[in-house]
Amino acid sequence: MDWRQIGMTLWFTGLSGAGKTTISQAVEKELRLKGCKVEILDGDIVRQNLTKGLGFSREDRDENIRRIGFVANLLTRNQVIVLVSAISPYQEIRNEVRQRIGNFIEVYVNAPLEVCEQRDVKGLYKKARAGVIKNFTGIDDPYEPPINPEVECRTDKESLEQSVAKVIAQLAHLGSKLAS
């Protein structure tokens, strides 16, 4: 079996503005060119639809990630490569989702807080610093970086193309092991 036909979840985690959506969209484009079945579950879009009504307490954030993980698992077991782009700030819930899915690659999209604040296209950091948004990850709510991610993309130090190449290489490597 070809690695491109193996269901897999690539979980892009990192602070708001780190580049999760940008990288996952570029990876999607690359995978489609290779003939892969691909779906993106973007945290912002999922919150508007699947998890509408959940807040930003730890419990609600965990439930949000569980629901995204549930959908990712369904797709993965049906030979779809799923690209999840969600802050998912807590290590424990990321581990829980990893265990449930199995074919899982954690991609830490890493950029320093200062860089993420400079990129703040939605103005969220500014609102969080002003106290308008409470429990904002990286400001007054913690972000627990992955301990041992399969891929780390340093978006403050590498190009989009470099990050995408690292992700695709890891996917091909793990997928080839699973296919044999």
> Which are the catalytic amino acids?
88
Q: How far is CA 147 from CA 23, 78, 91, 95, 116, in A?
A: 20, 29, 8, 10, 20
Distance CA 157, CA 171 (A): 22
Task: Give, to the nearest 10 degrees, the angle between helix 58-76 and helix 91-101.
Answer: 20
Helices (H), ranges, the chain: 20-33, 43-49, 58-76, 91-101, 113-118, 124-129, 160-179
- H/E run at residue 8: strand 8-13
Q: Could you give the angle at the alpha carbon of 127 between the alpha carbons of 47 and 123, nearest 5°?
A: 70
